Amino acid sequence: MASTSAAFGLSGKVGVITGATGAFGRAAARSLADAGARLVIAGANAQALRELEMQLNADGIRVKAKACRPDTEANARNLIDEAVAQFGAIDFVVVGSGTNDPAPIQDMTTEQWEHVMAANVRGSWLVCKAFATHCIETAQRGRVVLLSSTRGKLGLAAGYSAYCPSKAAIDGLTRTLACELGRYGINVNAIAPTVFRSELTAWMFADDDRGRAAREGMLARIPLGRLGEPEDLVGALQFLLSRASEFCTGQTLYIDGGYTAG
């Protein structure tokens, strides 16, 4: 390594971010581009994705939008091919897409459960397969970062019988693909946040009785004394995509203010 600061840079690297119109995806796109990466940003909401592309490009951040949900092998491979077509190569993928649909188990339908598992696990697996296949075929090293959660480690009495198992599966996928793909020079890791500000969690940040009660319950378990922000996640993400983490694979990195430490 020439220097510590250089080791954390992403200059010249090309990547794909799925779920780019979400709070994490937006923060990731801006942060990684600031570090020098060229990006294909993907999401199912074509209008929101186009608006994000225009906003980032207006700020001098070079990205290419691809309205695509990685729900089939063809769609996942199209994301990889788009990066190669636009920028001539691909070095990493960040899987930020996913969903939740909480309900007590006695009320949750099989379709609800399968939808969460498909979005969170199947989609992640499909992106990993497409990217790994490309890297193996082209004899190229690569980086994968998946989005897990503290709920992959901890249960929750709030109707999360689909979400928690889906994130536990992401942790398992991270470990097993790290073992399988290490021989090809592909690092696979995950980041696992606790509650952070997003469209889905905005109610927990609200100053009403419901939001205050939920927030105080969470804060009692977080040693650093606050909920997360999307920007809290991007430093770890950049580390896992850069040369600074060259010898790190198969790890789930908790970014949770100490929530899982107690």
Active site residues: 163
Inter-residue contact 261 to 33 (CB < 8 Å): no
Strand order in the sheet with 142-147: 63-67, 38-43, 14-18, 92-95, 142-147, 186-193, 252-255
Instruction: Enter the DSSP assignment of 207.
Output: S
Cα separation of 205 and 198, whole Å? Answer: 10
Cα separation of 43 and 67, whole Å? Answer: 5
CB atoms near residue 104 (< 10 Å): 11
3-class DSSP string for 26-43: HHHHHHHHHCCCEEEEEE
Four-CA torsion 228, 242, 64, 25, nearest 10 degrees = -10
**Measuring CA to CA, how many Å separate 241 from each of 16, 31, 45, 111?**
12, 12, 26, 35
**Measuring CA to CA, how many Å separate 101 from each of 112, 119, 260?**
7, 11, 23
